[in-house]
Structure 1
Amino acid sequence: MTKNEILGKTQGGLTVFKHFLPVQFKIGKSFLNPFYQDTKASCNIYLDKKSGIYKIKDFGDNRFNGDCFSFVAALNNLNIADRDDFKKVINIIKQEVLLNSASKPMPNPIPIIKETPENTSNSIEQITFKDLSQAELSFWQKYNITQTVLETFNVNSIQSFIATNKNGKQYTIQSTETEPIFGYKHKHFIKVYRPNSELRFLFLGEKSDNYVFGLDHLPPRGDVLFITGGEKDVITLHAHGFFAICFNSENATIPPEVVRKLSYRFRHIVLLYDVDQAGLDAATYHQQKLKDFDIKVMLLPLSGIKTEKDISDFFRLGHTAEELKILFNQLLENLYAQTFAMLKSCEIDFKRPPKIPKPLVTIAGVTIGSQGNLLGITGNEGSGKSNFLGGMIAGALAQAGQKVDSLGTQVLPNLSGKALLYFDTEQSEDQLYRNLNYILQRCELDAPPEWFKAYCLINLSRRERMHVIMQSVDKFHHQFNGVHAVVIDGIGDLIGSLNDERESVNLIEELHRMAGIYQTCIACVLHLVPSGVKLRGHLGSELQRKSAGILCIEKDENTDISCIKALKVRSGSPLDVPLIQFAWDKEKGYHVHIGEKPKEHKQQRKIDDLTNAATELFKDKEKINYSQLMNFLAETMGVTDRMAKNYIRFMQEHGIIEHTPIGKDYQLCQT
């Protein structure tokens, strides 16, 4: 019988596989190979669409790969390429399958001599580990890598190992004092590192197709992530306080999907390869391939010879982590050169005051709140926001032990000298300059500290304003080792329309992302709607949802007293927050804290605010159900569902809302 005749009589070989495999299987589904001690289901039968016949694929042992003839040959220790052996295979299939003999002799299991899978270099037969010797510890200590760090990355000292290469030849390698062996242990394989040997790297076991070293040691969010050429570089950077990963080598493919996921977690992804020609070429290649992710390339100031080319050499030669930070800061300065040339004209020069134009009504900004969050500051025009925010900035500028009146709030002073950044999109240069001097007077300062930067952005387009804010925050974050606070007064001038939903969502998401990456509080100033319940437009709705807290500045009727009240707090009810007051002090020449409003105002404030909320809700509705009412209050007032339920009960008790005559819906009280 011919090969084609057998395939025609066995459904393309499928009948042969069913006959000789003593296990049940499904086409395309993985199963354990019963002919050796298989521990991982990686064998499957599939239909080869090109040839139209069935084949077997075993990722654990490639002797079984092929059509039914190859499979039968493997079971009987025959060579399919040998003409006589092939005749024997044909005869076995004819006798055992086609003639359906009564007794089917089961082939003896093949001795387990596992060959190398396609994606690994060597199969391991035996390996012996040992404790790190003093000489081996000294090798790693040159890079500031301690035994604790080695244990963190699962780096072991290997005494010896026996392996089989891809040609089936077995060999043994023994560790010596002059040629130590280290192993980067992973779940299914070990990457061997022999720093002093001619063959420095090899894999033992089933290497992962998507090999990324250091990925499981990264934080959920971070600023800078380095991609290096090797495992030692990753560990060295970790030992010096940096985050890093590497792939198999500088020339290994970097999967775009991995970089895409990391780009959401890190502000900067930087290629930090060797500075020899091979490393330079690889960095250029990968940067071009990954250009959609704004991958940066950083070059080390090394000669490029064998002993001076990578980040491990950089630290071994005595350079410090601070020097690496300086190099990165220089990289940013080069990248942002054009931006800062443009921004320079916007910086307030205290030595050269601008010309005095006609005075305008302006709003100043300040930062209060928690790290990693947005803070909303709102109020109507003329309510006293400028005075309140000036007091808050003064609190951030306060020196150690200095008492500054921050108008009844607690402000964390910037004693560590991080960047304090203030961007104004509404005031003229003259008005901003004068307001800044009032703040300095409150703090008893003749000149602002170096880390306080104030910019007037009215002469820039809306698109340019957000661009310079993002890059300057990043630059000053690295220059001053962090950002204490960012104030943007007001964020409505960063987009084309307050009611553009897409622009509003994108802006607030970007600001929230920046607050998380730089671990700072970004204070966003935005006007209030006339009803006094919600912030203006879609932008206000997004800010109200994403902010950890919102403060509103109001002016009492027929008085010069301003009041600070909470519209939203992280937990609890904003209506339970005390109402703080401030007013002008003639003797001091600026506004001062004058205490809290009397307790009787607290109940009336709650009634007034909930009445305004109900009026806003029912202005275009006659009735609303309980769930809709609760969701509206939770979103508008920035409270939990439980607190919203308490508000509904309070509104009923105080005659703000009532049940409709029929059903359980609600309406405004008719009396």
Structure 2
Amino acid sequence: MGGFNIRDTLAAEQAKFKDEITKDKFKYKNYVLDLSLPINEPKFLFAIGGVPTIPLAELIGIKGRAKMGKSQFEYLLIAVMLAGLNRGNINPLQADYKVLLFDTEQSQASLKKCCQRALKYASLPIDKNDARFIPFFMRPLSIDERKQAIENAVREERPDIIFIDGVRDLLQDFNSLEQSGNLIQWLLRLTAEYGCTIVSVLHQNKAKDDGNMRGHLGTELLNKLTDCFEVSKKDGKFIVSCTDSRNIQCPDFAFSIDANGEFRDEVLPDENKSLARVEEIKKTLRMCFNTKSEMTYTELTKSYAMEAAVSERTAQRAIKEAKDNDFLNIKGDYYTIREQTPTATDTHL
């Protein structure tokens, strides 16, 4: 009898809850997290190096300095989706995709050439449109026209993923906190309302030792991204690294474009990679302690995240690796950097 009374009580409470949320003053209850519901595990669109990455209905970033291959990476992803086959280290995790591309930067001729490169790599005809891939030439449009066209297209076409090449062209001033915040909230609303992944391409600052994405838009966008990829170029190869992720970071990989303008898979040499990572962490730590000789864990985490242009979660992993390899001294609640000559054991970082 007691159990029956409990069920009756719960049923009455749920009925009251549903009745209340129709009233304006109780609408906040629409946003209460229901802990009785099962957890929805993320659905990933790709695996890179065997690691699932780029989940559905999330914000993704591609950053890099000018002419480093940011756009070519997105066309490589598009080609893999259209082919439906493994290409190099990239494996599509869906049988079929609907892809929209919005380009605000290139000329029509350049955009066509890039689209045709992706279609050719996917072994598809390059002289006609594919229903699964719709590219948009947006350079002549105003900011409001671009945003309206993007939202209308997403609403009507219902894509799995969209690429915005030149996201900073969707606002007047990428150093404006208000404009940047409004744009990011708009992007987040699109992912939530239409269930699509949005990949934003944004330039990094020009200084070689500054990996931050440009302006307040770049800073705020990084805080909201699920995955962020950095594209660089060395010896004719485009090197892609997942610099920040809320999930497991996928391994680095490389590709190139040959003399015929076609994509080519490249092998990324592992030699000196561990040592390079050691030096990168040490370099970042030195910048953190440049103006302060000691910091608390919280202060160091925030400083490392800012200097390396990564999330605080990624910064915490780097600090842990540094502690494990004696790159940091800890006295009470304070951390200081330990300068030392690199040894063979450093390469285990």
Match of residue 331 from structure 1: none
Equivalents in 2 of 1:256, 1:630: separation in Å? 41
Equivalents in 1 of 2:316, 2:286: separation in Å? 22
How many residues align? The count is 304
Match of residue 148 from structure 2: 467
Equivalents in 2 of 1:652, 1:423: separation in Å? 47
When Rg is computed on C-alpha atoms for both structures, the one with the higher figure is 1
Equivalents in 1 of 2:221, 2:55: separation in Å? 15
Match of residue 247 from structure 1: none
Shift of 1:414: 5.7
Match of residue 172 from structure 2: 496
Q: How does 1:168-207 map to 2 (within 5 A)?
A: 187=12
Going from structure 1 to structure 2, the CA distance change for 1:262 and 1:625 (only over 3 Å counts) comes to closer
Shift of 1:431: 1.0
Q: How does 1:391-406 map to 2 (within 5 A)?
A: 391-399=76-84, 403=85, 405=87
Query: Are 1:372 and 1:517, in contact at CA under 8 Å, matched by a contact in 2?
Result: no
Query: Are 1:624 and 1:667, in contact at CA under 8 Å, matched by a contact in 2?
Result: no
Match of residue 183 from structure 2: 507
Task: Indicate which of 628, 642, 647 corresponds to 2:299.
Answer: 628
Equivalents in 1 of 2:163, 2:291: separation in Å? 36
Equivalents in 1 of 2:289, 2:124: separation in Å? 51
Q: How does 1:393-432 map to 2 (within 5 A)?
A: 393-399=78-84, 403=85, 405=87, 407-413=88-94, 415=96, 419-432=98-111
Aligned with 2:195: secondary structure? coil
2:324 is aligned with 1:645: no
Query: Are 1:485 and 1:522, in contact at CA under 8 Å, matched by a contact in 2?
Result: yes
Equivalents in 2 of 1:264, 1:440: separation in Å? 45
5+ long unaligned stretches in structure 2: 1-7, 34-52, 342-349
Task: Indicate which of 270, 277, 282 corresponds to 1:606.
Answer: 277
Equivalents in 2 of 1:460, 1:264: separation in Å? 40
2:68 is aligned with 1:383: yes
Shift of 1:642: 5.1
Task: Indicate which of 215, 222, 226 corresponds to 1:544.
Answer: 222
Query: Are 1:383 and 1:555, in contact at CA under 8 Å, matched by a contact in 2?
Result: yes
What is the identity, as a one-letter code, of the residue corresponding to 1:537?
G
CA RMSD, Structure 1 to Structure 2 (Å): 3.6
TM-score, with structure 2 as normaliser: 0.73
2:192 is aligned with 1:516: yes
Shift of 1:597: 2.4
* Residues 62-114 of structure 1, C-alpha deviations (whole Å, 9 max, x = no match): xxxxxxxxxxxxxxxxxxxxxxxxxxxxxxxxxxxxxxxxxxxxxxxxxxxxx
Higher-helix-fraction structure: 2
* Residues 208-248 of structure 1, C-alpha deviations (whole Å, 9 max, x = no match): 79947xx7xxxxxxxxxxxxxxxxxxxxxxxxxxxxxxxxx
2:241 is aligned with 1:565: yes
Match of residue 116 from structure 1: none
Q: With CA pairs under 8 Å and 6+ residues apart, which has the higher RCO, 1 or 2?
A: 2
Shift of 1:634: 5.1
Aligned with 1:525: secondary structure? strand
Equivalents in 2 of 1:450, 1:549: separation in Å? 27
Equivalents in 2 of 1:209, 1:647: separation in Å? 48
Q: How does 1:78-97 map to 2 (within 5 A)?
A: none
2:58 is aligned with 1:373: yes
Going from structure 1 to structure 2, the CA distance change for 1:467 and 1:380 (only over 3 Å counts) comes to same
What is the identity, as a one-letter code, of the residue corresponding to 1:666?
T
Aligned with 1:460: secondary structure? coil
Equivalents in 2 of 1:435, 1:465: separation in Å? 21
Equivalents in 2 of 1:258, 1:464: separation in Å? 36
* Residues 356-380 of structure 1, C-alpha deviations (whole Å, 9 max, x = no match): xxxxxxxxxxxx7101211111111
Equivalents in 2 of 1:436, 1:444: separation in Å? 12
Going from structure 1 to structure 2, the CA distance change for 1:595 and 1:210 (only over 3 Å counts) comes to closer
2:336 is aligned with 1:666: yes
Equivalents in 2 of 1:491, 1:413: separation in Å? 26
Going from structure 1 to structure 2, the CA distance change for 1:595 and 1:208 (only over 3 Å counts) comes to closer
Going from structure 1 to structure 2, the CA distance change for 1:475 and 1:593 (only over 3 Å counts) comes to same
TM-score, with structure 1 as normaliser: 0.40
Equivalents in 2 of 1:264, 1:525: separation in Å? 34
Shift of 1:528: 1.8
